[in-house]
Structure 1
Amino acid sequence: MFTRHYDHWPERTPKRLSIPETTLLDNLAISARRYPNKRAIIYYDQEITYQQLYEEQKRVAGYLQHELGVKKGDRVLIYMQNSPQYVIAIHAILRAEAIAVPINPMMVTEEVKFPIEDSEATVAFVGQELFERIKPLLNMTPLKHVILAAYSEYLPESCEYELPDVVKAPPIGKDSNHISWQEVLRYDQAPLAYKGESGDLAVLPYTSGTTGLPKGCKHTHKTVQANVMSGSHWGNGSPEAVALGGLPLFHVTGLVHCMFVPIHLGGTVVLMTRWNRDVAGRLIEKHECTNWTNISTMVVDFLANPNLSNYNLSSLLAVNGGGAALPKAVGEKLFEVTGLRYAEGYGLTETISTTHSNPIGKAKLQCLGIPSFDVDSRVVEPLTLQELGPGQEGELLVNGPQVFKGYWNRPEDTAQVFVELDGKTFFRTGDIVTYDEDGYFYIVDRVKRMINSSGFKVWPAEVESKMYAHPAVQQCCIISTPDARRGETVKAVIILNDGYESTTEQEIIDWAKEKMAAYKYPRVIEFTKELPVSGSGKILWRKLQDAELQKSKS
């Protein structure tokens, strides 16, 4: 067991943590009994109590079971942006003893099709602004029923914030292709008796693999509860916690730290549909937010706001997150403004967020932190699995209660990411790290070929496969290029087909924008006459990547 970090463990905090045998749905039920009239959600000042949240999830669960035939173990898609409906829907799915499949709302039709078919989801909760994307997939895939949500239905009568158009939009007219959220809420048949257990599958978030094919990560109530408990205790959480919910809930970090943790504590989630730095500042001040979990690009944007001094941020007790390393200068500015050190963390979809985190008050910048409760973390030579010591670079392996149960319907892929070491089963993260004498971990590189754009994973193989659909593209290699705002952004190096020499970079970008999510499509295009290849004809992407990094340094 790796214990080097114990000398820097948070004060007055146990090193082990018992994971409850109860379910995520039980967390809401208990908080609703304890604090029925307490604010569970604040949505642009509209308050939703625990009692309302609990009652509405029951109505939705009843509809899923009795009207749509959802049974234990069925998969139900959630394809919407942050909203009260998101929180209600996921708990309703769990109440029906089904499995929630959270999908990135930035995905376009072609991308959404895969998780629907792979998970065989027949029901989806969909934000109405996304309906036209998913509508072509109705009855052409396993998908049969769409419950459509208009975010404006949960807005206060008057709102003082600058809101996205999708939030203000009234509900669209009823048609035969969807079921309205209000119709579901009017349903008054109680759901079946709840018999969920901690070992049942609860959520199936999708992540990409090294081949670019998305894979569903099987998480039980217990694997998720491990990080719910960890997140609750690491920062000495309490029912008085008020979390700024600016991270997207489809993302495992947002799902756990901006929803499940506050609900377990009986705290409050101040929910934002989309990130807006001015709105965030006003919400922190007005509702006295105590916790803000984010990705580092949000912090960069927030601190660059010329209106920053207008907001009282004194209620904040902890600012933490990850996705990409926070620049040191930004971390110092955050400390100047708030008196708080940014506590970076590390995790993956396979670990439903955190495996490592910086201790509050003992954080090191540009550092993954120390292993969390009950996490055994090792650094090994990737080929031999020989364990390495401080300062040595190797692949990160983790063993812990939050590690997933394997990839959905992919036993071979599952077998490849688990190894035995000292009688324990470890998950191979694919990340190259090192740790210092204090037991703090630092990321160096990735075994897997992956681009980190604003905290979102982009797998070059997936983007390349889509780029080859363009008639002008003869050969394509996707690499990353440094970006001041996103950390990294996607670049395509392309050889054009004969007859397409007049094709412009912007034409390629505009085409790709229609085919891929906003964080995936190439923002930078470079045309070339040849690509470096190996003796077997394989494109040497690493050569291009290294040249791009050198170019950025010169």
Structure 2
Amino acid sequence: MTNHGLGDWIHRREVKSAGRMAITAGTLELTYEQFSERINRLANAMSERGVQRGDRVAFLGENSVEFLETLFALGSIGAVFVPLNTRLAGPEVAFHLDDAGAKILVASHTMEPLVAAGVAETDVERVIVVDDGSRVPAEDGRLTLPVEQYGDVLEGASATRPQVNVGIDDLAIILYTSGTTGNPKGAMLSHANMTWNALNVISDMDISNHEVALMISPMFHVAALGMGVLPTFLKGGHLILEPRFEPGRALQLIEQHKATYISGVPTTYQMLAEHPDWETTDISSLHNLTCGGSAVPLRILETYEDRGLSFTMGYGMTETAPGATTLPARYSREKMGSAGLPQMHTHIRVADFDGNELPPNEVGEVQIQGPNVISGYWERPEANESSFITDDGGTWFRSGDMGYMDDDGFLFISDRLKDMIISGGENIYPAQIEQELAQMESIASVAVFGVANEKWGEVPRAAVVVREGHELTEEDVLSYLDGKLARYKIPKSVVFVDDMPRTASGKVRKPQLRELHGE
């Protein structure tokens, strides 16, 4: 048996890092040996329940030991991990489960109403419930599928290491990213993608086996998983898990555990700095602060510099596992606004739409190549065809972002070819919101675009043309979306317009719409 994937990592650390702490989650503390034993038990339990190589198992819950055990256990038997965003609505969960063909759903019992709504009419055969908080029963009664308790599943399984061959290029994770056409796409992340990304991180940052990484960002996003969790485990560091981000609690944990490493988006760091305990909390242990999603505003940069801290910033996406570029802390002022340099084992070019590389300072599409880049999307041949370009230089992923390289090779993102909105680190695609609102009888036309927000960076706003003879209020529009979309996707405001600015072909001119109604 040879396992070249993520499923072998903790087994190897069991010996290399014997006696060292792997995870602290509240009052639960696990050494690498204890963590490895639990992973083996879950892997064997999954096999006993019919999970085989290539089968998909989904997880719905906040940051937890069980999340990570499911990831590594599935990697041990060659199965595929499908983490779901806890902020999705029931129909969205159902879409993800059905699209992935998930066989089992592991879920927090705090999510029971969402689970009940999500598993209906899917191929999910059973639900394994994690007892990690106050149970929230489903409104329409109990789940009709077989339901097991996570603790019982572990207790009844063997702790023997599974004997399954897993290749480095085998599929490890399907992670859904919002689609420009309204339907999410499953990015197929292999064991190699995640491994090479972790190697990129430890090549570009000072990650050591003494790292104490505080996970305050949700691990169902590739950023926390790829930039924080996996590099820490690869080096044999210590992970502090928090189910969700609360700035006061995070500051307390930094001081208590002498955390060395945190990652987040600009909003995360803003909320920490604005908390009343910021000035009195000992944060001197911190030395690695990573930030993605968008550039760190100057005022936040200065606030942290006043405490002797600096940021390593970067650019990436789910499809690059997620790192593509890194802006080292030493360049945070000199190259302010830059997305940074290509990561150690990743290549970046700026090209025209025919794939011709452009000279420095000329704007084109950012294209990415490397062992951390996905090979494609789950069962999306059309998306695969349009998202990659192959030439004499190999195959490049088309990011859909516009940018340029300066004379020193630093990447600057100048605009987004796609209409994606980044709100507090969450990717929002207007097409999905527009499709939902188009179902309202009172709406003749709708367009969604991003507007600046001091706290979240951007938030969605809907421009609506009301159908003749109908009446509509902002409250009507927003309440209609409640329960149909994740709350972070629901527009924060609505403007009513007489008409939309359009091209000759009838497409809405969103830049012009933003100019007219973006203030």
Q: TM-score range by the shorter chain?
A: over 0.9
Q: 1:176 to 1:117 in 2, by over 3 A?
A: closer
Aligned to 1:490: 460
3-state SS of 2:483 partner: helix
Does 2:1 correspond to 1:32?
no
Q: Which of 187, 204, 208 is equivalent to 1:217?
A: 187
Q: d(CA) in 2 for partners of 1:486 and 1:524? A: 14
The residue type equivalent to 1:484 in the other structure is E
- 1:447 Cα deviation after fit: 1.1
Q: 1:56 to 1:176 in 2, by over 3 A?
A: farther
Does 2:463 correspond to 1:508?
no
Does 2:283 correspond to 1:313?
yes
Q: Which of 344, 362, 365 is equivalent to 2:331?
A: 362
Q: d(CA) in 1 for partners of 2:218 and 2:495? A: 32
Aligned to 2:403: 433
- 1:247 Cα deviation after fit: 1.1
- 1:499 Cα deviation after fit: 4.6
Q: Which of 244, 259, 262 is equivalent to 1:274?
A: 244
3-state SS of 1:259 partner: helix
- 1:463 Cα deviation after fit: 0.9
1:4-403 to 2 correspondence within 5 Å?
22-66=4-48, 68-138=49-119, 140-151=121-132, 167=133, 169=134, 177=145, 178-189=147-158, 190=160, 192-337=162-307, 339-363=308-332, 364-381=335-352, 383-403=353-373
3-state SS of 2:330 partner: coil
3-state SS of 2:350 partner: strand
3-state SS of 2:459 partner: strand
Q: d(CA) in 2 for partners of 1:135 and 1:103? A: 14
1:80-113 per-position Cα deviation (integer Å, ceiling 9, x unaligned): 1111111111111212210111111100111111
Give the conservation status (yes or no) of the 8 Å contact 2:348–2:369: yes
Give the conservation status (yes or no) of the 8 Å contact 2:347–2:370: yes
Aligned to 1:162: none
The residue type equivalent to 1:61 in the other structure is A
- 1:61 Cα deviation after fit: 1.2
Give the conservation status (yes or no) of the 8 Å contact 1:39–1:47: yes
Q: 1:413 to 1:172 in 2, by over 3 A?
A: closer
The residue type equivalent to 2:344 in the other structure is F
The residue type equivalent to 2:119 in the other structure is L
Aligned to 1:546: 515
More moved, 31-40 vs 222-231: 31-40
Q: d(CA) in 2 for partners of 1:175 and 1:342? A: 46
Give the conservation status (yes or no) of the 8 Å contact 1:454–1:488: yes
Aligned residues: 511
The residue type equivalent to 1:232 in the other structure is I
The residue type equivalent to 2:63 in the other structure is N
- 1:225 Cα deviation after fit: 0.2
- 1:336 Cα deviation after fit: 0.8
Q: d(CA) in 2 for partners of 1:215 and 1:271? A: 28
Q: 1:253 to 1:461 in 2, by over 3 A?
A: same
Give the conservation status (yes or no) of the 8 Å contact 1:57–1:91: yes
Give the conservation status (yes or no) of the 8 Å contact 1:318–1:360: no
Aligned to 2:496: 527
More moved, 131-140 vs 423-432: 131-140
Q: d(CA) in 1 for partners of 2:477 and 2:358? A: 45
Give the conservation status (yes or no) of the 8 Å contact 2:447–2:464: yes
Q: 1:63 to 1:172 in 2, by over 3 A?
A: farther
Q: d(CA) in 2 for partners of 1:488 and 1:482? A: 5
- 1:420 Cα deviation after fit: 2.5
Q: 1:548 to 1:440 in 2, by over 3 A?
A: farther
Give the conservation status (yes or no) of the 8 Å contact 1:65–1:191: no
- List runs of 5+ in structure 1 lacking aligned partners: 1-19, 152-166
- 1:340 Cα deviation after fit: 2.2
- 1:497 Cα deviation after fit: 2.9
Query: What root-mean-square deviation, in Å, do the aligned CA atoms of Structure 1 and Structure 2 show?
Result: 2.0
Q: Give me the TM-score of the superposition, normalised by structure 2.
A: 0.94
More moved, 189-198 vs 233-242: 189-198
- 1:147 Cα deviation after fit: 0.9
3-state SS of 1:514 partner: coil
More moved, 387-396 vs 116-125: 387-396
Q: d(CA) in 1 for partners of 2:410 and 2:193? A: 24
More moved, 230-239 vs 519-528: 230-239
Q: d(CA) in 2 for partners of 1:269 and 1:444? A: 35
Give the conservation status (yes or no) of the 8 Å contact 1:126–1:149: yes
Give the conservation status (yes or no) of the 8 Å contact 1:96–1:191: no
Give the conservation status (yes or no) of the 8 Å contact 2:201–2:227: yes
Q: Give me the TM-score of the superposition, normalised by structure 1.
A: 0.88
Aligned to 1:457: 427
Q: d(CA) in 2 for partners of 1:239 and 1:192? A: 27
Q: 1:175 to 1:471 in 2, by over 3 A?
A: closer
Give the conservation status (yes or no) of the 8 Å contact 1:247–1:258: no
Q: d(CA) in 1 for partners of 2:465 and 2:457? A: 26
Give the conservation status (yes or no) of the 8 Å contact 1:60–1:187: no
The residue type equivalent to 1:509 in the other structure is L
Q: d(CA) in 1 for partners of 2:245 and 2:117? A: 29
1:282-311 per-position Cα deviation (integer Å, ceiling 9, x unaligned): 111111111111111101111112220121
The residue type equivalent to 1:516 in the other structure is L
- List runs of 5+ in structure 2 lacking aligned partners: none
- 1:333 Cα deviation after fit: 1.2
Q: 1:25 to 1:336 in 2, by over 3 A?
A: same
Q: d(CA) in 1 for partners of 2:385 and 2:164? A: 33
The residue type equivalent to 2:271 in the other structure is D
3-state SS of 1:100 partner: strand
Q: d(CA) in 1 for partners of 2:346 and 2:373? A: 10
Q: Which of 409, 416, 434 is equivalent to 1:446?
A: 416
- 1:434 Cα deviation after fit: 1.7
The residue type equivalent to 2:356 in the other structure is Q
Give the conservation status (yes or no) of the 8 Å contact 2:327–2:339: yes
Aligned to 1:159: none
Give the conservation status (yes or no) of the 8 Å contact 1:480–1:489: yes
- 1:175 Cα deviation after fit: 6.8
Give the conservation status (yes or no) of the 8 Å contact 1:249–1:258: no
